[in-house]
Structure 1
């Protein structure tokens, strides 16, 4: 019975994340200490105490979530729990690559901080936005984006699960698409509190800058099978992974495709490693029969252990 580790992206952050694991596991606390040392800032204090507004800044959020996810990963390793396959949503892809041994945490941390900065700088604040459309099929959302693009850039950004697709672009285009989605019978349409239209062509300049940084870092072949956001398929060539990370910034995230591929290949247990339960919710909507659990504190760690014992029987 195969187990997948899945790693959350931006938006999963909250004040207090990782604090309990850090207090009880030296392995987790060491990751926070390493992050403070590498970034020369009090990231640990920000994760544990906030303020929330500071933690929400993209160039802080991205290394913070990577750190919390890696700390949780170290706890799972300590407990003898390992995955058969890994993937992460957007930023979470970097946590997955650390888990797979493709990139070191030491190299990934400043890289995602720069990624956050480049993404923030690519589109002036107040120009772009994102919205979640719930209850329409993929082809319907793509058709709406095409129609609304007469008023401004609007593209599909995240295919999260069968009932939720996120669109992004400039404000006029996205809001026109939101209105069309409501007209076409969407159950819910929600504009998201984000500072940039992630995973759209508007972020291409960020991808170009990011690739210059990627080229400076050693990447290795995955020791654990890894599935890419851009292709929804396995990737093992280190240079191809770099190219896909560049494309990922301005390409839609094929999360539903990733989960379906894992299920097809025999994954029965999904463990969300890091803050929040958003990915767990998506997996449950894709396949109700899968065992889905998350780890972010001691209570959820115990649930992980209990579930793994149950499914092993």
Structure 2
């Protein structure tokens, strides 16, 4: 029996998400460090207007995840695993002890800038629900214009990435085939597809100068759905996850098969918790946001007792 901290990706952001974090010394220290490294006032970073920027969104997700995890770890046992969806891989790596928070801040700021610069408009991502992978792949093969598989979130929940026109055409055909949902996501960048190979190579060059360590907490890759122990493999995973398909469903299955029975989603939101409940037939799935700290602490301690 073991536990996992999960960190959400872009699309989970909420205006005021940093201001909504618990008022605790651990959170304040994290926010102060981020403000110093970035050289900017964080009070403006999570406004609705600021969150139109890919850079701001990704930084807010990193900061919220690390601050919340540090608050919880200051009083509770560490999880056995960490995993993150897309940008969520960065707070996961920080919490695992593999990447310094200051380095993560600088890399994520660059990551957001590179992605935004590559596709400032006319591209994004769309969620399809109710169709299997084979059907969606068939729709993409017939599409005119660039559109690719981006995320595998569940057996029947797939996210595609590409141009607005190509995605709209695929969404229309998906609805005709019975898709219960075909929704354009709050993303202005076509993530997790070959369109971002060039920005990923630029980010990899910056990563070459950053020290990484072997994770102290087991790190599950959201791309390969497998643990990564080697720092160089982790470097590759983080730098190139923007242009590789996210297999979140596979990651959840791997965690469950390895004995994870406590899934805690770090802020913001609870989207990953909903996906986890489809896989975790036994155990507990809970989101940090809206939960009491003493409840989360009790669950982590209970999991430690069960694993003895």
TM-score range with shorter-chain normalisation?
A: over 0.9
- 1:9–1:88: 8 Å Cα contact kept in structure 2? yes
Relative to structure 2, which stretch is displaced further, 61-70 or 14-23? Answer: 14-23
- 2:84–2:91: 8 Å Cα contact kept in structure 1? yes
The Cα of 1:229 is off from its aligned counterpart by: 2.1
- 2:77–2:300: 8 Å Cα contact kept in structure 1? no
**CA 1:52–1:300 in structure 2 vs 1: closer, same or farther (change >3 Å)?**
farther
The Cα of 1:22 is off from its aligned counterpart by: 4.5
Q: Map 1:281-292 to 2 at 5 A.
A: 281-292=274-285
The Cα of 1:109 is off from its aligned counterpart by: 0.5
Q: Which runs of 5+ in 1 are unaligned?
A: none
- 1:214–1:242: 8 Å Cα contact kept in structure 2? yes
Is 1:304 aligned to 2:296, yes or no?
yes
- 1:230–1:247: 8 Å Cα contact kept in structure 2? no
Q: Which residue of 1 aligns with 2:271?
A: 278
The Cα of 1:161 is off from its aligned counterpart by: 1.6
* Structure 2 Cα separation of the partners of residues 28 and 195 of structure 1: 29
Q: Which runs of 5+ in 2 are unaligned?
A: none
Q: Which residue of 2 aligns with 1:206?
A: 199
- 1:84–1:225: 8 Å Cα contact kept in structure 2? yes
* Structure 1 Cα separation of the partners of residues 251 and 238 of structure 2: 16
* Structure 1 Cα separation of the partners of residues 60 and 239 of structure 2: 21
The Cα of 1:55 is off from its aligned counterpart by: 2.7
Is 1:142 aligned to 2:140, yes or no?
no
Is 1:63 aligned to 2:59, yes or no?
yes
Is 1:39 aligned to 2:38, yes or no?
yes
Given candidates 294, 301, 305, the residue that maps to 2:287 is 294
Q: Which residue of 2 aligns with 1:14?
A: 14
Q: Which residue of 2 aligns with 1:3?
A: 3
Q: Map 1:142-181 to 2 at 5 A.
A: 142-148=137-143, 151-181=144-174
Q: Which residue of 2 aligns with 1:129?
A: 124
Q: Which residue of 1 aligns with 2:221?
A: 228
* Structure 2 Cα separation of the partners of residues 52 and 18 of structure 1: 12
RMSD across aligned positions (CA): 1.8
Q: Map 1:97-108 to 2 at 5 A.
A: 97-108=93-104
**CA 1:136–1:287 in structure 2 vs 1: closer, same or farther (change >3 Å)?**
farther
- 2:128–2:159: 8 Å Cα contact kept in structure 1? yes
- 1:7–1:92: 8 Å Cα contact kept in structure 2? yes
- 2:127–2:158: 8 Å Cα contact kept in structure 1? yes
- 2:76–2:297: 8 Å Cα contact kept in structure 1? no
| CA displacement, residues 102-152 of structure 1 (integer Å, 9 cap, x when unaligned) | 1010110111011000011112312x121110011122212221222xx01
Is 1:263 aligned to 2:263, yes or no?
no
SS of 2:86's equivalent? coil
| CA displacement, residues 172-206 of structure 1 (integer Å, 9 cap, x when unaligned) | 22122112211222111112232111111111111
Q: Which residue of 2 aligns with 1:237?
A: 230
* Structure 2 Cα separation of the partners of residues 35 and 22 of structure 1: 16
